[in-house]
Structure 1
Amino acid sequence: MSAQGRPAPEFPVWPQYDDAEREGLLRALEQGQWWRMGGKEVDTFEQEFADYHGAAKALAVTNGTHALEIALQLLGVGPGTEVIVPAFTFISSSQAAQRLGATAVPVDIDLDTYNLSPEAAAAAITPRTRAIMPVHIAGQIADLDALDELAADSGVSIVQDAAHAHGARWRGRRVGELGSIAAFSFQNGKLMTAGEGGAVTFPETAQYDEAFLRHSCGRPPTDRKYFHQTSGSNFRLNEFSASVLRAQLARLDSQISVREERSKLLKSLLTEIPGVVPQGHDERADRVPHYMAMFRVPGLGEDRRNALVDDLIARGLPAFVVFRAIYRSDGFWESAAPDTTVDELAKACPNSEALTADGIWLHHRTLLASEGAIEDTAQIIADALAAV
């Protein structure tokens, strides 16, 4: 029962697991090698993940932020270079560039899809720009038709932040078939998880070979004499996590199918609530895994939005405020920040400002619930909004 007296909807727990994870953990335990260099789980998971996403290769790493760092490092991102990122994203997107010494350049988003605006990205390119990083918000792939054209015209590389986009498709093509490096996250709330973890997918095998060196302190897998061929760090995933991720991957596709159906129902119901605007859908994104169920209440304002989220949680919904525009966090300005101010960026990013103030999201386990629970969810949102 929620705090307001209406029965709270029943949502599946997250993370989900069953005997497949138990068997995987035992398999990793009993093989006697818990390090990726001697075991089989990480190697097997990488192949399975690459195959599922249509990539030439995949590299499993410690987390999604490290996946982004490796992807950027492969493209020569470092001091004196710039990476264009959406102003509306989780801050790892910018921090991955900044930790390499590059300047993160925030640009505005499309207020319908919440994805990076190709027009804003084009306007931000300078001779120092080394990469453009679209983030596939809530699992909907950004406008890669326009961004790929921009990349070809400018000579700037694309790095897909696919932390929300496991199993996503764009015009029938999977993330690994889109011609650019992509980085994924397996953090606890993600669409598949081992608590932490990440992966990078590559369109070319040679990119994997260099990335392997950099994620393993620059050391080739066959080295026995400590000849470290590149700079790097220890971003290696362990065998236990890989065994769990193999089980998680096996059920991902069926979960996406359920979320796609439930999302259609929830969006139709939210559209009927006065003042509520669900995240839009680009029809070219023909399979969306729905990491979040996102919506806005335009004009609500940040304080009232925050109060509404608190009320939704009290009523039993797994609700959250959306990401804050990255330039509105102190951490963004600590190192390798652009030569500008918060006010100047806010003026250049009105859509990110609006979404920061009035956006709400529901955890994707909401979309694994029954149709009845989805109907109850929409009614709770309507009731709570009327009470704000």
Structure 2
Amino acid sequence: MNARQAPEFPRWPQYDTSERDGLIRALEQGQWWRMGGDEVNSFEREFADHHGAEHALAVTNGTHALELALQCMGVGPGTEVIVPAFTFISSSQAAQRLGAVAVPVDVHPDTYNIDVAAAADAITPRTKVIMPVHMAGLMADMDALAKLSADAGVAVLQDAAHAHGARWQGKRVGELGTVATFSFQNGKLMTAGEGGAVTFPDTEMYETAFLRHSCGRPRDDRRYLHQIAGSNLRLNEFSASVLRAQLRRLDEQIALRDERWTLLSQLLGAIDGVVPQSGDVRVDRRSHYMAMFRIPGITEERRNALVDRLVDAGLPAFAAFRAIYRTKAFWEIGAPDETQDAIAKRCPNTDAISQDCVWLHHRLLLAGEQEMHATAEIIADGVAAA
């Protein structure tokens, strides 16, 4: 397998003179924090417009975006937040760090998105928020979630860390009537190394979030009259200038990734034992943060060995997320009053996906058709060896 010539993929992050010009612009404006400059303000307007949101607030990273959004939605001690069991740990820890209990529920075996029926079964009088995660840029069932939210009186927070530019039945993330959070960490679909954003459908919650992200201090305060408890989650001007450039090429990259995934998923589906992540016809724009596939029946040890083989062959491959309840971090604070085995029993799909799933970084989907064929051949060789 190592004798095969490794395909070449675009590097990530990508940048050109637009990022460089933005950094110089931020440098020369003479003010490098958001209260004195204009890069963060401009980026927030542009990002909100791009996602159909009333407001966007840029913050230090995606995890802080989740924490801030949850806090503004009333999450704290004595409350519960329903999260998919298959996700990056920040989805649960954002609630747990606020003193709330994170309640994991199972996901669909094909889309890897939250099982809305499982979420409905997990609702209690203490449930404050349901947090779907748009896994790999494939949006969760927002129609079913909207109905559940209305019926149960529980708010929805979209974890859209993978879903920049995605659409559900023609509606952008910010047009679905809920708060949503985004990440700009180094591997994400647009990046400044770190960074995050929260989009809001109404002005009142946005203004509360602005205060909380700036130590509770109003924009025009000169006397340290902090009005509300908060922290310093402000994004700096340099990061915002880079993100403005990244946003301008997002649509073109999404279109290319979608075209490449159409081909790659067909090639992967033709490999014996490989099942690519499925789609949803209601997601008319999928942003493709990851190219994900399963090898049902493989052991976790063999899956990990397969990932090593793929990396050695030149693919940007990774093992899928571990079920959040199978990490030590989940049990430190804010865990439900259940055993790990009890949660696992009601999350069989999560346990299986965590064991048999592989994902490829989205930069692979920015390469040519020839590289998609080479990728599928490498994976076929690796699966056969595994």
* TM-score, length of structure 2 as denominator length: 1.00
Q: SS of the counterpart of 1:35? A: coil
Query: Corresponding residue for 2:345?
Result: 347
Q: SS of the counterpart of 1:106? A: strand
One-letter amino acid of the structure 1 residue matched with residue 213 of structure 2: H
Q: What CA distance in whole angstroms lies between the structure 2 residues aligned with 1:155 and 1:363? A: 37
Aligned with residue 243 of structure 1, among 237, 241, 254: 241
One-letter amino acid of the structure 1 residue matched with residue 381 of structure 2: D
Query: Corresponding residue for 1:77?
Result: 75
Query: Corresponding residue for 2:224?
Result: 226
Query: Corresponding residue for 1:157?
Result: 155
Aligned with residue 274 of structure 2, among 273, 276, 284: 276
Query: Corresponding residue for 2:364?
Result: 366
Aligned with residue 291 of structure 2, among 290, 293, 307: 293
Query: Corresponding residue for 1:61?
Result: 59
Aligned with residue 85 of structure 2, among 79, 87, 90: 87
Shift of 1:101: 0.3
Aligned with residue 307 of structure 2, among 306, 309, 312: 309
Q: What CA distance in whole angstroms lies between the structure 1 residues aligned with 2:306 and 2:107? A: 24
After the TM superposition, which residues 171-186 of structure 1 pair with which residues of structure 2 at under 5 Å, given as runs? 171-186=169-184
Shift of 1:21: 0.3
Confirm whether residue 356 of structure 1 aligns to residue 369 of structure 2. no
Q: SS of the counterpart of 2:225? A: coil
Query: Corresponding residue for 1:131?
Result: 129
User: What per-residue deviation string (whole Å, max 9, x for no partner) do you get for residues 129-180 of structure 1?
Assistant: 0000000000011001001100000000000000000000000000000100
Shift of 1:206: 1.6
Q: What CA distance in whole angstroms lies between the structure 2 residues aligned with 1:178 and 1:366? A: 30
Shift of 1:214: 0.4
Q: What CA distance in whole angstroms lies between the structure 2 residues aligned with 1:293 and 1:379? A: 15
Shift of 1:340: 0.7
One-letter amino acid of the structure 2 residue matched with residue 82 of structure 1: E
Shift of 1:44: 0.1
Q: SS of the counterpart of 2:181? A: strand
Identity, % of aligned pairs? 70
Query: Corresponding residue for 1:207?
Result: 205
Q: What CA distance in whole angstroms lies between the structure 2 residues aligned with 1:191 and 1:32? A: 29
Shift of 1:341: 1.0
Shift of 1:384: 1.0
Q: What CA distance in whole angstroms lies between the structure 2 residues aligned with 1:119 and 1:9? A: 42
Shift of 1:287: 0.2
Query: Corresponding residue for 1:4?
Result: 2
Shift of 1:386: 1.0
Structure 1: 5+ residue stretches without partners: none
Query: Corresponding residue for 1:104?
Result: 102
Q: What CA distance in whole angstroms lies between the structure 1 residues aligned with 2:261 and 2:85? A: 25
Q: SS of the counterpart of 1:382? A: helix
User: What per-residue deviation string (whole Å, max 9, x for no partner) do you get for residues 12-56 of structure 1?
Assistant: 000000000000000000000001000000000000000000000
Q: Which runs of 4+ in 1 moved over 6 A?
A: none
Aligned with residue 27 of structure 1, among 25, 28, 43: 25
Q: SS of the counterpart of 2:158? A: strand
After alignment, is 88-97 or 339-348 more displaced?
Answer: 339-348
Shift of 1:346: 0.6
Q: SS of the counterpart of 1:10? A: coil
Q: SS of the counterpart of 2:249? A: helix
Query: Corresponding residue for 2:35?
Result: 37
Shift of 1:207: 1.4
Size of the aligned set, in residue pairs, is 386
What RMSD in Å do the two structures reach over aligned CA positions? Answer: 0.6
Q: What CA distance in whole angstroms lies between the structure 2 residues aligned with 1:79 and 1:31? A: 43
Shift of 1:385: 1.0
After alignment, is 349-358 or 205-214 more displaced?
Answer: 205-214
One-letter amino acid of the structure 1 residue matched with residue 111 of structure 2: T
Q: What CA distance in whole angstroms lies between the structure 1 residues aligned with 2:156 and 2:299? A: 34
